[in-house]
Chains A and B, each alone.
Chain A
Amino acid sequence: MTSGLAQPNSVPVRAQGSRARRRALRPGWVETICLTVILGLVVVVVFGPLLAPYSPNAIDAFAISAPPSATHLLGTDDVGRDLLSRLIIGARPTLLGATLIIAMSATAGTILALIAAWFGGGVDWVVSRNLNLLFAFPGLLLAILATAVFGAGLTGPVIALSLAYTPYFGRVVRSAALRERRMAYVDAASVQGVSSTRIALRHILPNVGGLIVVQASVNFGYVVIDLAAVSFLGLGVQPPTADWGEMISEGQQAILSGTPYEVIWAGAAILITVLAVTVLGNRLASRWGYER
């Protein structure tokens, strides 16, 4: 049933400059380096035991505090354990822990933000006050307190840091969601009778998704450092389990005896990880036009 009248004469042309848009998605050299590093870390985490030349707890009595050599590429610690292996295996608690924390805090923060933005009014007030409350506690302090509740190990710190980082996501997603909420297309969906859940998931969330990714990359670095600090203090991962923060802790004394390798390698690993993820996050932010 055509209303026989003036037809718009052009079927949509491929959006202006779609080729340019694809060109814009291609990563620059900085991003490529970061992505390569991150890919490398993923490989290390997934295939750790296969890559490590030795077991992380295997002791080589003939090489105590040994400098890098052919048999021990990164040297050994003061008990004779291969540092390269410990570094590789130690990636797991640190990186998996950080990933878990980011995932949980991002999810919790986003859900709270969407609820606050959609319902507004009193609900928003309650959620915002709670988020502010969480902001007030330094993550590290919460993590330390959590070990008092859960005992040593990663459980406490992971839960605590997930709580501590929730408001960082919550706040940022909330303002973006509030902006989206005001868009005419959300009004249109609302008038159509589309359910609130669907509007939140199909219309608001995708348009703030990029923001969440950027926040996740930027916060990842801080989380890694926080976790390492917790283990450094001896409250997270317990020896003899290998972990980067724990390695820094154990390697302290060795610095004074002139063999700082443990600290250097673990420190470098943390530094490279944090750099790669944070730089990538910042690049994505400027490319997608978000504030960091």
Chain B
Amino acid sequence: MINEALLEIDHLGVTLPVDGRPRPILRDVSLRLNAHDALAIVGESGSGKSMTARAIMRLLPEGATTSGVVRFQGHDVATLSGPSLREYHTRGIGVVFQDPRAHINPVRTIGDYLTEVLTTNLGLSQASANARVLDLLAQVGIPNAQRRLRQYPHQLSGGLLQRVMIAAALAPEPQLLIADEPTTALDVTTQADVVAVLNEQRQERQMALIFITHDLDLAAAICDRTAVMYAGTVVEEQRSTELHEHPLHPYTAALLNSRPRLEGVDTLTPIQGQPLPAWEAPEGCAFAGRCEFANDLCRASRPDLVGPPERLSACLRTVELCETLTLAVSEA
């Protein structure tokens, strides 16, 4: 009996033309998600986390070429078109983007925006669509829903608008929700609120969630598993709690240690150098240039993502460094 994963990404590579030359943005990304899983993808600039999301959504920019495959419920996403693609975008996945104002038409009311998908793609009548939308707004914690339906986007604050976007994404009841840095542009109190809503909805609906962020703590708060990306590939994937205490990859440990913290040690330990995009990565391990444990072998050959399930790491020295890394993050 095969355990059918909801989403499977197998050795995905994406190349984009940049200034006329093809450049790899994603290099050999593999991830797996089951029906009720919550996976966080954490990375800095150039890590490829947003591009991975776009590949899943089938929203890659013009001129992109891919290798590898993205499978949703067993079907290759690249083969979808027309009605099947629309089905995928409504009942398959829902998306919440970082900047709500860039993704909503400013000259239409919130009500129009929310009901549009329901009436056009799902064939609901206007009345039942309205009812469902009111219900959704209540679920995401927006009071005075009736009044809000008649308002325009500019009349809502960032946090409220983001909750509207969540409602919109949830309206067709998708099986997988992808949230791409949904709270990065929000204040910290608003962020906590919006994330709470997301978490609640996910648990109630038993939906799968992919949460993209640069914040490791935020990732751990709502996702059981965290995947860390660097230079276009996944370098570590573990259960979130384990990752924080026993990181398997030097980058993860260094990232954990370089964050400003409210508690613990007073001094900061930055990582030397800066994050690389995939096309700037040299031979061998992309992180070798900044890694304090790198040796000649690391610089010569690129490590694959290997290990037992939920303890994956792309580091040649992961086994021997295990204890050192745990020690490093516990002292911080």
Answer whether residue B290 sits at the interface, using C-beta atoms and an 8 A cutoff: yes
Complexed CA–CA distance, A261 and B272 (Å): 76
Chain A residue nearest to B289 (CB atoms) is A9
- Interface positions, chain B 145-161, Cβ under 8 Å from A, are none
Enumerate chain A residues within 8 angstroms of B21, measured Cβ to Cβ.
Answer: 17, 20
Tell me how many residues of B have a C-beta within 8 Å of chain A: 11
Complexed CA–CA distance, A6 and B20 (Å): 34
Asked whether A16 lies within 8 Å of B18 as measured between CB atoms, the reply is: yes
Chain B 289-313 against A: per-residue CB contact (8 Å), 1 yes, 0 no? 1100000000000000000000000
Enumerate chain A residues within 8 angstroms of B327, measured Cβ to Cβ.
Answer: none
What's the minimum C-beta distance from B230 to chain A, rounded to whole angstroms? Answer: 15
Chain B residue nearest to A21 (CB atoms) is B19
Among the listed B19, B270, B289, which residue makes an inter-chain contact with A6, where contact means beta carbons less than 8 Å apart?
A: B270
Complexed CA–CA distance, A16 and B273 (Å): 18
Among the listed B18, B19, B20, B273, which residue makes an inter-chain contact with A9, where contact means beta carbons less than 8 Å apart?
A: B273
Complexed CA–CA distance, A254 and B19 (Å): 57
Answer whether residue B31 sits at the interface, using C-beta atoms and an 8 A cutoff: no
- Interface positions, chain B 204-252, Cβ under 8 Å from A, are none
Interface SS majority for chain B: loop
- Interface positions, chain B 114-128, Cβ under 8 Å from A, are none
Answer whether residue A257 sits at the interface, using C-beta atoms and an 8 A cutoff: no
Complexed CA–CA distance, A8 and B273 (Å): 4
Complexed CA–CA distance, A6 and B292 (Å): 12
Asked whether B273 lies within 8 Å of A17 as measured between CB atoms, the reply is: no
Chain A residue nearest to B19 (CB atoms) is A17
What's the minimum C-beta distance from B255 to chain A, rounded to whole angstroms? Answer: 14
Enumerate chain A residues within 8 angstroms of B273, measured Cβ to Cβ.
Answer: 6, 8-10
Asked whether A10 lies within 8 Å of B274 as measured between CB atoms, the reply is: yes
Enumerate chain A residues within 8 angstroms of B274, measured Cβ to Cβ.
Answer: 8-10
What's the minimum C-beta distance from A262 to chain B, rounded to whole angstroms? Answer: 50
Asked whether A5 lies within 8 Å of B289 as measured between CB atoms, the reply is: no
Complexed CA–CA distance, A23 and B18 (Å): 14
- Interface positions, chain B 250-308, Cβ under 8 Å from A, are 270-274, 289-290
Chain A 150-191 against B: per-residue CB contact (8 Å), 1 yes, 0 no? 000000000000000000000000000000000000000000
Asked whether B20 lies within 8 Å of A17 as measured between CB atoms, the reply is: yes
Asked whether A23 lies within 8 Å of B20 as measured between CB atoms, the reply is: yes
Enumerate chain B residues within 8 angstroms of A5, measured Cβ to Cβ.
Answer: 270
Answer whether residue A7 sits at the interface, using C-beta atoms and an 8 A cutoff: yes
Complexed CA–CA distance, A19 and B18 (Å): 12
- Interface positions, chain A 1-47, Cβ under 8 Å from B, are 5-10, 16-17, 19-21, 23
Chain A residue nearest to B274 (CB atoms) is A8
What's the minimum C-beta distance from A23 to chain B, rounded to whole angstroms? Answer: 7
Chain A residue nearest to B20 (CB atoms) is A20
Asked whether B18 lies within 8 Å of A17 as measured between CB atoms, the reply is: yes
Chain B residue nearest to A16 (CB atoms) is B19
What's the minimum C-beta distance from B330 to chain A, rounded to whole angstroms? Answer: 22
Chain B residue nearest to A18 (CB atoms) is B19
Among the listed A6, A16, A19, A20, which residue makes an inter-chain contact with B271, where contact means beta carbons less than 8 Å apart?
A: A6
What's the minimum C-beta distance from B196 to chain A, rounded to whole angstroms? Answer: 34
Enumerate chain A residues within 8 angstroms of B270, measured Cβ to Cβ.
Answer: 5-6
Residue in B18, B20, B270, B290 whose Cβ sees the most chain A Cβ within 10 Å: B20
Chain B 1-38 against A: per-residue CB contact (8 Å), 1 yes, 0 no? 00000000000000000111100000000000000000
Complexed CA–CA distance, A23 and B21 (Å): 12
Complexed CA–CA distance, A17 and B280 (Å): 13
Chain A residue nearest to B290 (CB atoms) is A9
What's the minimum C-beta distance from B289 to chain A, rounded to whole angstroms? Answer: 6
Enumerate chain B residues within 8 angstroms of A23, measured Cβ to Cβ.
Answer: 20
Enumerate chain A residues within 8 angstroms of B271, measured Cβ to Cβ.
Answer: 6
What's the minimum C-beta distance from B258 to chain A, rounded to whole angstroms? Answer: 9
Enumerate chain B residues within 8 angstroms of A6, measured Cβ to Cβ.
Answer: 270-273
Complexed CA–CA distance, A21 and B18 (Å): 11
Enumerate chain B residues within 8 angstroms of A10, measured Cβ to Cβ.
Answer: 273-274
Chain A residue nearest to B276 (CB atoms) is A10
What's the minimum C-beta distance from A10 to chain B, rounded to whole angstroms? Answer: 7
Enumerate chain B residues within 8 angstroms of A20, measured Cβ to Cβ.
Answer: 19-21
Complexed CA–CA distance, A5 and B19 (Å): 34
Complexed CA–CA distance, A9 and B21 (Å): 25
What's the minimum C-beta distance from A241 to chain B, rounded to whole angstroms? Answer: 52
Complexed CA–CA distance, A5 and B269 (Å): 10
Chain A residue nearest to B277 (CB atoms) is A16
Chain A residue nearest to B272 (CB atoms) is A6
Enumerate chain B residues within 8 angstroms of A19, measured Cβ to Cβ.
Answer: 19
**CB-defined A-B contacts under 8 Å, sample of 7:** A7-B272, A8-B274, A9-B272, A10-B274, A17-B19, A17-B21, A23-B20
Q: 10 shortest A-B CB distances, which residue pairs? A: A17-B19, A9-B273, A20-B19, A6-B272, A20-B20, A6-B270, A9-B272, A8-B274, A16-B19, A9-B289
Chain A interface residues (CB < 8 Å from chain B): 5-10, 16-17, 19-21, 23
- Apart from the given pairs A6-B271, A16-B18, 15 other A-B contacts in the complex at a CB distance below 8 Å: A5-B270, A6-B270, A6-B272, A6-B273, A7-B272, A9-B272, A9-B273, A9-B289, A10-B273, A10-B274, A16-B19, A17-B18, A17-B20, A19-B19, A20-B21
Chain B interface residues (CB < 8 Å from chain A): 18-21, 270-274, 289-290
